Structure 1
Amino acid sequence: MIFLCLLLFISYILTAPKDAVNAASVGLVLWYTRVLPTLLPFVILSNILMDSNYLQYLNKITAPLVSRLIPVSDNGAFVLLSGFLFGFPIGSKNCAALLASGKITRREADVLFIITNNISPVFVTSFILYTQLKLSHLSAVTLLILYFPALLLGSILLSTDARRTKDRTAFHAQKQPASGSQMNFKIIDTGIMDGFETLTRLGGYIMLFSMIASLLQKLPVPHILTLILTGMVEITNGIAMLPDSGLPQSVQYVLAVVYTAFGGLSGIAQTSSMIRDTPLSIKHYCIAKLLLAACCGLLACLVSQIFHL
Structure 2
Amino acid sequence: MLKSKIKSFLLAASATVMAGALISLPEESFEASIRGLNIWWEIVFPSLLPFFILSELLIGFGVVKFIGILLEPLMRPLFRVPGVGGFVWAMGMASGNPAGAKYTARLRQEKQITKIEAERLVSFTSSANPLFIFGAVSVGFFHNQHLGIMLALSHYLGNICVGLIMRFHGKSEAVSVNEKTVPVSIRAALAEMHRTRLKEKRPLGKQLGDAVTSSIHTLLMIGGFIILFSVINKMLYHLYVTEILAAGIKYILSAIQFPESLSVPFISGIFEMTMGSQMTSQIPSVTLLEQAVMISFLLAFSGLSIQAQVASILAETDIRFLPFFISRVMQGFFSAGFTLLLWKPVYEKIDWMERNSNSYPVFAPWDSGWNINIYEYFVSYGPIITIASLMLYIFIYASRIYTNRN
TM range (shorter): 0.7 to 0.9
Alpha carbons of 1:195 and 1:172: their partners in 2 closer, same or farther (altered >3 Å)? Answer: farther
Which of the numbers 91, 104, 109 marks the counterpart of 1:100?
109
Unaligned runs of 5+ residues in structure 2 are 1-9, 183-191, 248-260, 352-406
In structure 2, the residue matched to 1:198 is 218
How far off its partner does 1:284 sit?
A: 1.7
Q: Give the 3-state SS of the residue equivalent to 1:180 in structure 2.
A: helix
Distance 1:156 1:111 in 2: 9
In structure 2, the residue matched to 1:260 is 299
Write the mapping of 1:112-191 to structure 2, written as runs, cut at 5 A.
Answer: 112-158=121-167, 170=179, 178-181=195-198, 184-191=204-211
In structure 2, the residue matched to 1:227 is 265
Give a deviation string over 1:147-175, Cα, whole Å, max 9, x none. Answer: 113213323443798999899963579x9
Aligned partner letter, 2:197: G
Q: Give the 3-state SS of the residue equivalent to 1:178 in structure 2.
A: helix
Aligned partner letter, 1:241: M
Distance 1:167 1:230 in 2: 41
Q: Give the 3-state SS of the residue equivalent to 2:195 in structure 1.
A: coil
Q: Which shows bigger deviation, 31-40 or 148-157? A: 148-157
Distance 1:123 1:105 in 2: 32
Distance 2:284 2:328 in 1: 28
Which of the numbers 20, 42, 67 marks the counterpart of 2:29?
20
Which of the numbers 300, 304, 307 marks the counterpart of 2:339?
300
In structure 1, the residue matched to 2:52 is 43
In structure 2, the residue matched to 1:32 is 41
Alpha carbons of 1:218 and 1:53: their partners in 2 closer, same or farther (altered >3 Å)? Answer: same
Write the mapping of 1:44-59 to structure 2, written as runs, cut at 5 A.
Answer: 44-59=53-68
How far off its partner does 1:229 sit?
A: 1.4
Is 1:286 paired with 2:336? no
Alpha carbons of 1:24 and 1:49: their partners in 2 closer, same or farther (altered >3 Å)? Answer: same
Q: Normalising to structure 1: TM-score of the pair?
A: 0.87
How far off its partner does 1:50 sit?
A: 1.4
Distance 1:208 1:166 in 2: 41
Distance 1:186 1:167 in 2: 34
Distance 2:269 2:142 in 1: 15
- 8 Å CA contact 2:49–2:219 kept in 1: the answer is yes
- 8 Å CA contact 2:61–2:193 kept in 1: the answer is no
Give a deviation string over 1:167-219, Cα, whole Å, max 9, x none. Answer: 9963579x999343465111111110001100000000000000011113213
Q: Which shows bigger deviation, 140-149 or 65-74? A: 65-74
In structure 1, the residue matched to 2:186 is none
Aligned length: 308
- 8 Å CA contact 1:149–1:296 kept in 2: the answer is yes
- 8 Å CA contact 2:101–2:314 kept in 1: the answer is yes
Distance 2:155 2:310 in 1: 18
Q: Normalising to structure 2: TM-score of the pair?
A: 0.68
- 8 Å CA contact 2:155–2:335 kept in 1: the answer is yes
Give a deviation string over 1:22-76, Cα, whole Å, max 9, x none. Answer: 1001101110000000001111111122133343344466666766865542322
- 8 Å CA contact 1:59–1:75 kept in 2: the answer is yes
Give a deviation string over 1:228-247, Cα, whole Å, max 9, x none. Answer: 21111001111122232234
Alpha carbons of 1:168 and 1:247: their partners in 2 closer, same or farther (altered >3 Å)? Answer: farther
Aligned partner letter, 1:26: R
Which of the numbers 267, 281, 287 marks the counterpart of 1:243?
281
Unaligned runs of 5+ residues in structure 1 are none
In structure 1, the residue matched to 2:250 is none
In structure 1, the residue matched to 2:316 is 277
Alpha carbons of 1:299 and 1:210: their partners in 2 closer, same or farther (altered >3 Å)? Answer: same
Q: Which shows bigger deviation, 177-186 or 62-71? A: 62-71
Distance 1:24 1:250 in 2: 32
Is 1:215 paired with 2:215? no
- 8 Å CA contact 1:76–1:112 kept in 2: the answer is yes
How far off its partner does 1:102 sit?
A: 0.8
Alpha carbons of 1:15 and 1:73: their partners in 2 closer, same or farther (altered >3 Å)? Answer: same
Distance 1:158 1:295 in 2: 16
Alpha carbons of 1:161 and 1:17: their partners in 2 closer, same or farther (altered >3 Å)? Answer: closer
Distance 1:172 1:195 in 2: 33
Larger Rg: 2
In structure 2, the residue matched to 1:75 is 84
- 8 Å CA contact 1:217–1:226 kept in 2: the answer is no
Is 1:7 paired with 2:24? no
Alpha carbons of 1:65 and 1:136: their partners in 2 closer, same or farther (altered >3 Å)? Answer: farther
